Amino acid sequence: MSEPKTIYDKIWESHLAYEDEGDCLLYIDRHLIHEVTSPQAFEGLRMSNRTVRRPQNALAVADHNIPTTDRALGIGDEESEIQIQTLEDNCKEFGIEYIKTSDKRQGIVHIIGPEQGFTLPGLTIVCGDSHTSTHGAFGALAHGIGTSEVEHVLATQTLIQKKAKNFQVKINGKCNDNVTAKDLALSVIGAIGTAGGTGYVIEYTGEAVESLSIEGRMTLCNLTIEAGARAGLVSPDQKTFEYLKDRPMSPKDDEWDSAVEYWKTLASDKGAKYDKTIEIDAGNLTPLVTWGTSPEDVISIDGNIPNLEDIKDDSKRSAVKRSLDYMNLIPGSPIKGVPIDRVFIGSCTNGRIEDLREAASILPGKKVSERVSAMVVPGSGLVKEQAEEEGLDKIFIEAGFEWREPGCSMCLAMNADKLSPKERCASTSNRNFEGRQGREGRTHLVSPKMAAAAALAGCLTDVREMVL
Amino acid sequence: MEKFSSVKGISAPLINKSGNQLSLMMNVDTDMIIPKQFLKTIKRSGLGKNLFDEMRYDSGGKEIDSFILNKEPFRKAKILIAGKNFGCGSSREHAPWSILDFGIKVIIAPSFADIFFNNSFKNGILPIKLDEKIINSLIDVSMKGEELEVDLIDQVITLHDRKIEFDVDPINKDCLVKGLDDIGSTLEKVSFIDEFEGELFDKRPWDIPS
């Protein structure tokens, strides 16, 4: 009998196109492309007279630069417009399917891949974006690549890779009410640190992970890169197959049946070996919030900001001091009650329908605090459409939120949606780095429900108290 | 890509101050290295002036005197020294492009984020992982503006008569030393890719859109 394998081992082995003493070519099944990290790759192809090996394996959309105001008003920024037009032109030249900005399928790459059934279990998926880890929620090996690698995939449909190590994050038990996939992910990053997963592929297992919806698994895998691992994985199950059935690009008829049969063999084998394992008890978790400028700076909403003298490591202490100065927070004080100016609900981390439902669930009959400007940016046109069918847009608007068009928006603030200097934001996005949401802007990462609660209260607050 | 054999030059340490304590800045992220407003370019060149933009310039665009790369002799630095997990965050290759365009060819840190580490080699930048204690011992001389020599062929850093050896993956080393074009060498193996793809059509047709 062959040795028990992890799902990562299986996908890796089934995609090795060439191997010679650790020099491996991994075949790439799917390539998502957006406007920011691709122009130089296409230019590289042209300069060396190369072509795209399999344009059918790629799908392109503009998301990073796109304004979230009325699309009829145009892009409104010359450089962004050039970059988006360049993507459209490159796709046309090389025969790659491009979802136009006016198409209702347009949205954040990591949201439209699954929606279209472009993302499937057992595939290798890449994109010039670190949050490509999102697609691991389907049991696909998916990770971010740089522009040189984008060019390499376009030209060869492969990547030069070294096998990573296996890291199992087992999340036992059940989540308490108001504790979401975002809180699970932040707790993992808090536990292992932003470099904890460097060199590994993380596989999430355990009851709490199995209980998560597909949307929740996407949130969890999305944030894997913030723990340093390029890829996160959840073994596919019945929920995965149900989500994908009848999606526009999913296999059909007999091919669907054969695919499902194959996908059922992907789950990690009993007794598979992991190079590292940690266990977390979901039952112990509370809603979380970040206090600093690294996603590992996580505390419970009822916790206190760290005291500098409690930190023994010199470089960590000086990093914390820098963070707290930047965030303008008082060491040792409670995080609950810190006043906020902005709320952002959206991004590839938390811009899916379930996220919007969760955030909207606490809003009826309530109003956003006068001191807060709050916005919802659905992750795609289809998410927006679904939310409008369910009447979520009205709930948000009546509470005082702005209801925007889809895109990456204030997660990275490449378009006009950004924080002004010193503004403080409760955000459902993925990075609280210095300047991430705008120069001198201050970001607190939270779940969609916690973001909605903060919008109502005008400060970071405990959603559990608000719901009761 | 330019061939890489050795680099001799000024090294600039990225430092955090806490009281009198100087420590290397950890978790230097890609948003710090090159903020998003500079990602709208469709070129690879010209990003050096915006390297570390928000630490280097105030909101009016004026240089911040205390930032290391605004001081002599560090404006000419060819080597960057930083704390652990350098380059965490996004996959933007604009980060190594801006570093290289500034003139930096070597980065020394206790650890690097995976994607950045990989992107560096693709652009002819050598990221060197060294023990944190050894790196800390370089801060003083580095701050004095003394030159370091990094020899990739012999895998050794020289500082006066002190020699510090470092590890580098043999494939990455070979690519840097020869200035190899990855795509060119992969295309030499195209028959393996053809064969693999052919089998895929039969075995898992859903893997490969037609």
DSSP E strands in A155-197: the ranges are 158-161, 165-172
Q: Do A145 and B91 touch (CB under 8 A)?
A: yes
Q: Are residues B153 and B187 in the same domain?
A: no
**Predicted confidence (pLDDT) per residue in A156-167, tens digit:** 999 999 999 999
Q: Are residues B142 and B194 in the same domain?
A: no
Q: Do A412 and B113 touch (CB under 8 A)?
A: no
Can you tell me the mean pLDDT for A176-194? 98
User: Two tokens at B142?
Assistant: 């580095």
Q: Are residues B58 and B149 in the same domain?
A: yes
Residue B173 falls inside a structural domain: no
Q: Do B84 and A195 touch (CB under 8 A)?
A: yes
Q: Are residues B160 and B184 in the same domain?
A: no
Residue B174 falls inside a structural domain: no
Q: Which residues does B54 contact at the CB level (< 8 Å), separation at least 6?
A: A434, A435, A439, B32, B35
**Predicted confidence (pLDDT) per residue in B119-164, tens digit:** 999 999 999 999 999 999 999 999 999 999 999 999 999 998 899 9
Residue B106 falls inside a structural domain: yes
Residue B18 falls inside a structural domain: yes
Q: Are residues B163 and B184 in the same domain?
A: no
Query: Residue B20: its pLDDT value, please?
Result: 73
Residue B1 falls inside a structural domain: no
- Residue B41: how many other CB atoms lie within 10 Å: 18
Q: Are residues B12 and B107 in the same domain?
A: yes
Tokens 């199992």: give the residue: A168
- Residue A241: how many other CB atoms lie within 10 Å: 17
Alpha helices in A195-338 (DSSP H): 207-211, 214-222, 238-244, 253-263, 314-327
Give me the domain span that covers residue B148. Answer: 6-168
Q: Are residues B55 and B122 in the same domain?
A: yes
Hey, is the C-beta of B91 within 8 angstroms of any chain A C-beta? Answer: yes
Query: Residue B16: its pLDDT value, please?
Result: 87
Residues of B within 8 A of A56 (CB-CB) are 208-210
How far apart (Å, rounded) are the C-alpha atoms in residues A288 and A303? 9
Nearest to A34 by CA among A114, A94, A90: A90
Residue B71 falls inside a structural domain: yes
Alpha helices in chain B (DSSP H): 30-33, 53-56, 94-102, 114-122, 132-143, 170-178, 182-187, 190-203
**Predicted confidence (pLDDT) per residue in A346-393, tens digit:** 999 999 999 999 999 999 999 999 999 999 999 999 999 999 999 999
Tokens 């390499």: give the residue: A152
Checking DSSP bridges between strand B15-18 and strand B21-24, what pairing results, if any?
antiparallel
Q: Are residues B105 and B184 in the same domain?
A: no
Beta carbons of A437 and A418 less than 8 angstroms apart: yes
Question: Which band of pLDDT confidence, cut at 50, 70 and 90, is reported for residue B1?
Answer: confident
Q: Would you call B58 exposed, middle or buried from its count of C-beta atoms within 10 A (0-12, 13-18, 19+)?
A: exposed
Beta carbons of A80 and A65 less than 8 angstroms apart: yes
- Nearest CB neighbour to B114, from listed A17, A54, A199: A199
- Nearest CB neighbour to B16, from listed A255, A258, A318: A318
Query: Residue B21: its pLDDT value, please?
Result: 75
Q: Are residues B48 and B89 in the same domain?
A: yes
Residues of A within 8 A of B200 (CB-CB) are 27
CATH number of the domain enclosing B147: 3.20.19.10
Q: Find the length of chain A.
A: 468
Beta carbons of A120 and A244 less than 8 angstroms apart: yes
Residues of A within 8 A of B119 (CB-CB) are 146, 148-149
Split into its structural domains, chain B has a count of 2
Query: Residue A104: its pLDDT value, please?
Result: 96
Tell me the torsion sign for CA atoms A53, A111, A221, A192.
positive
Query: Residue A467: its pLDDT value, please?
Result: 65
Beta carbons of A408 and A348 less than 8 angstroms apart: yes
Checking DSSP bridges between strand A373-376 and strand A288-290, what pairing results, if any?
unpaired
Residue B175 falls inside a structural domain: no
Q: Are residues B196 and B106 in the same domain?
A: no
- Reported pTM: 0.97
Nearest to A438 by CA among A408, A399, A411, A468: A411
Question: Which band of pLDDT confidence, cut at 50, 70 and 90, is reported for residue B22?
Answer: confident
Q: Is the pLDDT of residue A1 over 80?
A: no
Q: Are residues B156 and B199 in the same domain?
A: no
Q: Are residues B124 and B207 in the same domain?
A: no
Nearest to B56 by CA among B12, B4, B20, B88: B12
- Nearest CB neighbour to B91, from listed A37, A319, A440: A37
Nearest to B126 by CA among B92, B87, B168, B159: B168
User: Which ipTM did the prediction report?
Assistant: 0.96
253-272 in A: which are within 8 Å (CB) of B?
255, 258-259, 262
